[in-house]
Structure 1
Amino acid sequence: MKDTENQPVKLKGVGDSLHVAIDPTQSIDTLRQSLSRTFERLKHLAINAKVIIDPGEDADCDGLIDELGQFLKDTFAVGMVSKPQPRKRSDNQERIREQDIGNEWHHYRSEALIIAGRVRSGLNIRAKNHLVILGDLNPGAEVYAGGDILVMGSLLGKAAAGQPDNETAIVMALEFKPTQIQIGGLVAAGITESGASRPEFAYVENNEIVVDDYVKGNPFRQLGWPEVR
């Protein structure tokens, strides 16, 4: 078997071009000899062929590529000779990269208020931004937030999110049975119980508060990249 790992020249077809990988640490004479052996086997297939000469990671090989390209043109009548084009990020990849750099969300300090335990009747809790309750919100309890309200338990009291005028906020609970919901300036009193014990959330659509299954209607599933709320 041939030891292809140490060959100074390796050839493969890429689309309508011949991709020639070279070892730029080899002498120009060694590379010419190896190119000659490789292209002699191609015979007429080399005539007017597009050739890409790839020196690998070395960036300062333009002169070497030009010299070898001219050698191939003079000796084997190949067509255009070029070096590999740098890989371009897709539009979506570039957008994601810019968001990551611009937002620096991984260094972001959350302003969310997170509380643990049962919020009992008569309690009134206010959060400047988002509010997360690791427990239940009992009937008679009231919570207000400038952003979203997430209840990791039963929501049985009053919840007002997006105060005073943020209608993009949501109210979510693992068991959604509030006595009243408010999002921005919109109020929905006495929301009918669905009877299902499942995560649900309320949001504004067409100037009305709508309640939906959170698992099926997750409003953040379509986001291509994490965003700071």
Structure 2
Amino acid sequence: MQKSAQTGLNLISVPVRIKGTFLPATLLQPVTAQLLHLRSGLEQRLKEGAASLLCSAPVVLDLSQLPDALDFQGLLVMCRELQIQLVAVRTNQPELQQQAQAAGLVALNEVERAAPAANQESLPRTRVHEGPVRGGQQILCETGDVIILGSVNPGAEVLASGHIHVYGKLLGRVLAGIHGDQQARIFAHQLNAELLAIAGCYLTGQAAMLSATESPVCIELVENKLQCRCC
């Protein structure tokens, strides 16, 4: 009986599972060390509807573009006051990395993407998804375009390094050119999106819904602003 009980105990699954995953995060990249200027810019973005990107999603603070020394502690206080959900800081400066870790944030190094070797296939790849993208589901392609043969429902998310084509209703969140391709575009048969983004420039909330249309549309980046036109 004792041996049987021990065998039964061994069949109990482990109490925790560890899996690799991809979770989208907002990249906050200051280009000035002047905190008053930064705060003014952030407050304006929040008024324009960026709260879903800055306050309801994990945010990585990228300090790679700063030309001057930064009051890091002052910046952290400002982010807390604006309810920006910082989870990590990306910098190669050891002092800032230590301050980030002391504040309970993850310290990330600035890592350049390696160029493909000469014998590696460098052609973009397209990911095709058949059927609707349901709420809570995410479709990601880091090497090319995404084609959705269906609708993108509210709460769903589609991300691509290239273009995004939606042969149905676009009601969720779509982010094209996620690696900085400003020529990327978003195409949809009908548009009433929660969020539109190309190469880090975005429309969200009411601003995105103002572009709603029941006709086929193309969204492109023109002078760092998203523009919507009928196809």
- Shorter-chain TM-score tier: 0.3 to 0.5
TM-score by length of 1: 0.44
Query: What TM-score do you get using the length of structure 2 for normalisation?
Result: 0.44
* Higher alpha-carbon Rg: 1
